[in-house]
Amino acid sequence: MSQQATKEKYSIETLRERNVSYDHQHWLTQEDVDMANNYVKLIERTRSEVTPQIGDRLVYVTEHGDYYGHALIDSRSAKEGYLSVCEQPYVPFVWEE
C-alpha cells in the first residue's frame, strides 16, 4: 500500500511571485513556504461550506446599510448563539489555535 504525498500549494517560486516586496526586503525561505502550506492545510481541514465559523470571511451589511466587503467572524457567544463580526480586519487577525 503506497501513500501519495499531498501536493503542496506553494513553493518558494510561487510565493515569490505573489510577495515581491516581502522577498526583496526579507528573503523568502523554506520556513515561510512551510508556514504558508501549513495554513492552507489548516484552512482546508477546518472550514465548512454549511456552518459559519470563527475565522470565516464574509460580506456584511448592517441594518443601516453600511457595507463591509471583507468582514471576519472573530468570536461566538456559545450561550446565546450569536457571532461577533469584525467589520474591517487586518493581518494580525490571522493566527492558529
- How far is residue 66's CA from residue 9's CA, in Å, rounded to a whole number? 36
At residue 71, the pLDDT reads: 93
Radius of gyration of the chain (CA): 17
* pLDDT tens for the chain, residues 1 to 97: 334 445 789 999 999 999 999 889 999 999 999 999 998 998 888 888 888 888 888 999 999 999 999 999 888 776 777 888 889 887 665 666 6
Q: Is 6 exposed, middle or buried (0-12, 13-18, 19+ CB in 10 A)?
A: exposed
Q: Is 10 exposed, middle or buried (0-12, 13-18, 19+ CB in 10 A)?
A: buried
- How far is residue 17's CA from residue 80's CA, in Å, rounded to a whole number? 45
